């Protein structure tokens, strides 16, 4: 009996030990960047976890220096991310509604075909997208980028939202239909309000994507005043890794902080949407 | 039904006349059927389509066959792209053309039976009601054709050309070379060695990184899920932090932390009395570092996912097992694990596919390096980052396209097997 008690105490202690180690590993890099962003000097080598002469110079530089385009990048990123999120939610929920509730030619295989096609690595297709935007005169424009984002997200997110719609009883639609509701009414008044969690997921996916993507905008957006945060910051540090690290750290903290806060506060929605959409689907 | 119409209308009735007229030009059959407004609209549609796209079709179809004839003047790659777009647009046009013939035929058949053809208002109503699903998905499908289908067709065709550094349009022309690129893969040692080493590392990377990140996530979720653990919410929030940080930030930050000379990781090792490890310059240690980083980046997703899944497992299962005297391990092995994996099967595949194509970690950490002598790929390059280098650094588009096709086929086959097994596409009761 005493041995069993001891064993259970030990296993609990071990549990806490593992969790604490895990938490330290998770937090350390984050604290290290914050430390770096406050460290005086510019190089990666001078940055420490707790800087001796902490300074906000790097943050000030981002906003005040004439050499810094940080504010422009931030505005561009927010613009692209929010337009893309709204557009994607509209396209995806509409398409998913059709896939969930109607029978039509190509219902069974079209979405699966596109999902499979997207397994092809995206890098090579970027050459083609570059040419396409060039022909449409949309190179170096935010709309060109948004169009590609909004198109590329359709298969996966439609599949996710369709799975969620499938869990909403069809009896609801049929009842509404008998009461004389049109296709659009059923969609906007019945399905959309019930599907709020998955809509939050799709919105967030499509907001976060452009916030953090760097490969595509780097190819599409050529002039510095049109670039996004990820591209700007990456190019900013790419040439002289050691020299600008603390400035990069300050810039990253200001991106990561809002993203992390939004993310952590909405993650419950996120998970419930993902599991409902994917597993029950 | 069919037989009845034949007997009343003879072998050549209004339906065939209408269909033939519509085949001659869109709208004619409809006018013959006395649907004047519809006919005129279709006629206008057809003429504007032809007027707008005629030049593109003319250049595109010639271009995709010849890839241009005069250097400096003909841009082979643009011609190829125009050719593909022409084919796609012609296909969409033919779809409407076919529908137009079918419509004329059906309305003709109605007239043979003496039914008055529907007026424009009725037609509008049928289109918005019966055609509702098509109208809603049309924008999405159109977008998909140009953003997903076109690039892949372009890539596939590129693999059969000699488009590389030495054939850069418009100065030089690009030509069709058939299967040469694929043959060279298996014939030239430089390509063969690079391919074999990159491919095997890609497989190891995908399996290890994904399996371990899932295992860590599940393990931690089970630990936290114990009734006696306190501060659950706080612990979870801290552990999910790595997921909330944008990956491009964390990858570059890790590049700083693992710096061979001054990074905090090596400093810590020195403080503990170990020698510094060449994280960025030695291929083996670089691979270790990248795997560690991916564990860090990837486990929070599984943790969050399984937290939800575990709470949904009915507790009477565990109670029953308890009564039967099952050990902790047996309960995990026979209840938790199968339930959790079953509930998340599609998302598991998405994670494996994601790491197979995980460009960010590989490229942002060390650009796929360190360099390996006598190979075209770096020490930590996986297939996708290798393709990136071939495309944007050494400009061997043709080989990059060929590798992409090989990667794509592998992943597609694996994914199709999985998606077929999910219930999402089994037919269930539909409204219409």
B118-175 confidence digits (pLDDT tens): 777 887 877 777 788 888 888 999 999 989 899 999 989 999 998 888 888 778 888 8
DSSP tag of B332? I
Per-residue CA distances from A107 to A114, A190, B430 (Å): 12, 22, 12
DSSP structural state of residue B378: B
Nearest neighbour of A119 by CB, restricted to B300, B305, B412: B412
Q: Is B119 on the interface with A (CB under 8 A)?
A: no
Considering only residues A239 and A109, tell me which one the structure prediction assigns the higher pLDDT: A109
Residues 6+ apart with CB under 8 A from B84: B60, B64, B150, B153, B154, B157
Cα B336 to Cα B339: distance, rounded to the nearest angstrom: 5
| Domain around A103 | 69-238
Same domain, A234 and A131: yes
For B360, the token pair is 């960010």
Q: According to the model, what pLDDT value does residue A278 have?
A: 52
Confidence of residue B213 (pLDDT cuts 50, 70, 90): very high
Q: How far is A192 from chain B (nearest CA, A)?
A: 15
Rounded (10°) angle between helices A110-117 and B397-421: 140
A152 cis-preceded (ω within 30 degrees of 0): no
Please identify, among A40, A60, A80, the residue that sits at the C-terminal boundary of a domain: A60
Q: How far apart, in whole angstroms, are the C-alpha atoms of residue A247 and residue A40? A: 10
The pLDDT value given to residue A44: 63
Indicate whether A47 and A102 sit together in one domain: no
- Across the interface, whether the CB atoms of B245 and A256 are under 8 A apart is answered yes
Evaluate whether residue A39 is within a structural domain. yes
ipTM of the complex: 0.82
Task: State the DSSP code for A280.
Answer: -
A137 lies in some domain: yes
Q: What is the pLDDT of residues B360-403, one digit of tens each?
A: 889 888 888 788 777 777 888 998 888 888 888 888 888 888 88
Residues of A in contact with B235 (CB under 8 A): 19, 23
How far apart, in whole angstroms, are the C-alpha atoms of residue B413 and residue A106?
20
B250 close to A (CB below 8 A): yes
Q: Searching chain B, which residue's CA lies closest to the CA of residue A89?
A: B140
- A108: buried, middle or exposed (CB in 10 Å: 19+, 13-18, 0-12)? middle
Q: Which of residues 50-69 of A touch B (CB under 8 A)?
A: none
Q: Does position A146 have pLDDT exceeding 60, yes or no?
A: yes
In a 3-state reduction of DSSP, which class is residue B371? strand
Residues linked to residue B378 through DSSP beta bridges, in sequence order = B371
Query: Which residue in B256, B348, B404 has the most chain A C-beta atoms within 10 A of its own C-beta, making it the best mutation to test that interface?
Result: B256
Select from A16, A36, A60 the last residue of a domain.
Answer: A60
In a domain, A176, yes or no: yes
What average pLDDT does range A247-267 have in this prediction?
A: 85
Last residue of a domain, one of A34, A60, A86: A60
Does A7 map to a domain?
yes
Q: Which residues of B touch A161 (CB under 8 A)?
A: none
Band of the pLDDT at A95, cuts 50, 70, 90?
Answer: very high
Tokens read off for B199: 């491919």
Name A89's Cβ contacts closer than 8 Å, sequence gap at least 6.
Answer: A199, A202, A203, A206
DSSP codes of every residue in B198-214: HHHHHHHHHHHHHHHHH
Residues A48 and A88 in one domain: no
Cα–Cα distance measured from residue A125 to residue B151, given in angstroms and rounded to the nearest whole number: 5
**Reported pTM:** 0.81
Residue B60, number of CB atoms within 10 A of its CB? 24
Domains parsed from chain B with CATH numbers: 2-178 (no CATH), 183-425 (1.10.3720.10)
Q: Say how many domains are in chain A.
A: 2
Predicted pLDDT at A281: 39
CA A92 to CA A161: how far, in whole Å?
A: 8
> What is the structure's pLDDT at B37?
87
Q: What residues of B are in contact with residue A215 (Cβ under 8 Å)?
A: 359
A168 shares a domain with A43: no
Cβ–Cβ of A123/B388 closer than 8 Å?
yes
Looking at the structure, tell me whether residues A100 and A135 fall in a common domain. Answer: yes
Gap from A162 CA to chain B (nearest CA, Å): 8
- In-domain check, residue A46: yes
Give a yes or no: residue A252 inside a domain. Answer: no
- Please report, for the domain that includes residue A159, its CATH number: 1.10.3720.10
Specify whether A56 is located in the same domain as A192.
Answer: no
Neighbouring C-alpha atoms within 13 Å toward the C-beta of A100: 28
Same domain, yes or no: A42 and A106: no
Shared domain check, A158 and A45:
no
B71 interface with A at CB cutoff 8 Å = no
Q: Are residues A151 and A216 in the same domain?
A: yes
Q: Helix-strand-coil percent breakdown of chain B, rounded to 5? A: 75, 0, 25
Distances (CA, A) of B122 to A9, B127, B134, B135, B432: 77, 9, 18, 17, 20
Note the pLDDT tens digit of each residue in A153-164.
998 889 888 888
Q: What phi and psi, each to the nearest 5 degrees, are found at residue B161?
A: -120, 175
Instruction: Encode pLDDT of B73-90 as tens digits.
Output: 888 888 998 999 999 999
Please write the tens of the pLDDT for every residue from A263-273.
887 777 777 76
A37 inside 8 A of chain B by CB: no
Query: Would A143 be classed as within a structural domain?
Result: yes
Let me know whether A85 and A214 are in one domain.
yes
Q: Backbone phi, then psi, for B245, in 5-degree steps? A: -85, 130
Portion 321-350 of B in contact with A at CB < 8 A:
343-347, 350
User: Hey, which bits of B75-167 come out as E strands?
Assistant: none
Clarify whether residues A171 and A121 are in a common domain. Answer: yes
Asked if residue A88 and residue A132 are part of one domain, the reply reads: yes
Q: Is B292 within 8 Å of B281 (Cβ atoms)?
A: no
Chain A window 172-191: which residues touch B at a Cβ cutoff of 8 Å? 173-174, 177, 183
Q: How confident is the model at residue B430 (pLDDT cuts 50, 70, 90)?
A: very low
Look at residue B18 in the predicted model and tell me its pLDDT.
87
Residue with more model confidence, B8 or B268: B268
- In angstroms, rounded to a whole number, what is the distance separating the alpha carbons of residues A123 and B354? 14
Ranges of H-type helices in B344-396:
345-356, 359-366, 383-392
User: Among residues A157, A155, A144, A66, which one has the least CA distance to residue A110?
Assistant: A155
Does residue A244 belong to any structural domain of this protein? no
Examine the pLDDT at B36 and tell me if it is beyond 50. Answer: yes
Give the burial class of B156: count Cβ atoms within 10 A of its Cβ; 0-12 exposed, 13-18 middle, 19 or more buried. middle
């Amino acid at each position: 009996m005493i041995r069993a008690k001891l064993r259970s105490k030990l296993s609990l202690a071990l549990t806490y030990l593992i969790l604490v180690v895990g938490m330290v590993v998770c937090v350390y890099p984050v604290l290290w960047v914050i430390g770096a962003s406050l460290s005086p000097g510019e190089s990666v080598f001078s940055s420490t976890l707790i800087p001796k002469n902490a300074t906000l110079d790097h943050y000030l530089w981002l906003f005040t220096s004439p050499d810094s385009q940080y504010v422009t990048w931030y505005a561009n990123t927010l613009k692209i991310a929010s337009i893309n999120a709204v557009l994607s939610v509209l396209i995806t929920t509409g398409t998913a509604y059709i896939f969930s509730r109607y029978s039509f030619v190509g219902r069974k295989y079209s979405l699966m075909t596109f999902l499979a096609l997207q397994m092809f690595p995206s890098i090579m297709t970027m050459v083609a997208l570059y040419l396409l935007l060039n022909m449409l005169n949309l190179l170096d424009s935010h709309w060109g980028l948004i169009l590609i984002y909004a198109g590329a997200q359709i298969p996966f997110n439609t599949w996710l939202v369709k799975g969620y719609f499938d869990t909403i009883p069809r009896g609801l639609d049929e009842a509404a239909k008998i009461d004389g509701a049109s296709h659009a009414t059923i969609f906007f008044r019945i399905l959309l309000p019930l599907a709020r969690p998955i809509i939050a997921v799709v919105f967030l996916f499509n907001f976060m994507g452009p916030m953090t993507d760097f490969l595509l905008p780097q190819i599409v957006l050529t002039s510095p005043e049109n670039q996004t945060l990820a591209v700007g910051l990456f190019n900013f540090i790419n040439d002289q890794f050691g020299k600008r690290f603390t400035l990069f750290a300050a810039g990253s903290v200001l991106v990561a902080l809002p993203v992390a806060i939004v993310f952590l506060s909405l993650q419950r929605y996120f998970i419930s949407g993902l599991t409902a959409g994917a597993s029950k689907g | 039904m069919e037989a009845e119409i034949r007997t009343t209308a003879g072998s050549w009735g209004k339906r065939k006349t209408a269909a033939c007229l519509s085949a001659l030009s869109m709208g004619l059959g409809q006018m013959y059927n006395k649907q004047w407004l519809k006919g005129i609209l279709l006629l206008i549609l057809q003429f504007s389509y032809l007027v707008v796209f005629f030049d593109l079709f003319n250049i595109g179809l010639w271009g995709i066959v010849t890839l241009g004839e005069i250097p400096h003047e003909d841009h082979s790659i643009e011609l190829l792209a125009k050719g593909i777009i022409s084919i796609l647009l012609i296909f969409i046009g033919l779809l409407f053309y076919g529908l137009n013939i079918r419509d004329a035929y059906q309305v003709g058949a109605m007239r043979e039976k003496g039914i008055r053809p529907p007026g424009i208002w009725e037609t509008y109503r049928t289109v918005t009601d019966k055609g509702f699903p098509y109208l809603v998905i049309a924008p999405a499908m159109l977008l998909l054709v140009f953003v997903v289908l076109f690039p892949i067709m372009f890539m596939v065709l590129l693999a059969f050309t000699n488009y590389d550094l030495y054939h850069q349009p418009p100065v030089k022309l690009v030509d069709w070379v058939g299967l040469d690129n694929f043959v060279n893969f298996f014939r030239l040692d430089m390509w063969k060695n690079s391919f074999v080493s990159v491919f095997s590392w890609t497989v190891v990377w995908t399996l290890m990184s994904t399996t371990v990140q899932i295992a860590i996530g599940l393990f931690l979720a089970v630990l936290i899920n114990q009734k006696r653990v306190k501060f659950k919410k706080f612990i979870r929030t801290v552990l999910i932090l790595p997921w909330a940080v944008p990956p491009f930030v964390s990858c570059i930050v890790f590049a700083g932390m693992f710096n061979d000379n001054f990074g905090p990781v090596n400093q810590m090792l020195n403080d503990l009395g170990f020698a510094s490890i060449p994280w960025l310059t030695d291929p083996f240690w670089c691979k270790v570092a990248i795997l560690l980083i991916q564990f860090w980046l990837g486990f929070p997703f599984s943790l969050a996912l399984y937290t939800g899944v575990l709470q949904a497992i009915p507790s009477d299962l565990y109670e029953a097992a308890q009564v039967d005297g099952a050990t902790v391990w047996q309960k995990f092995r026979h209840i938790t694990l199968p339930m959790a994996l079953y509930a998340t099967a599609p998302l598991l595949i998405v994670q494996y596919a994601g790491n197979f194509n995980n460009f960010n970690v590989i490229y942002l950490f060390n650009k796929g390096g360190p360099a390996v002598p006598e190979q075209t790929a770096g020490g930590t390059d996986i297939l996708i980052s290798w393709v990136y280098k071939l495309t944007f650094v050494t400009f061997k588009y043709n080989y990059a396209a060929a590798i992409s096709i090989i990667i794509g086929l592998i992943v597609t086959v694996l994914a199709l097997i999985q998606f077929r097994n999910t219930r999402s596409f089994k037919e269930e009761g539909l409204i219409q």
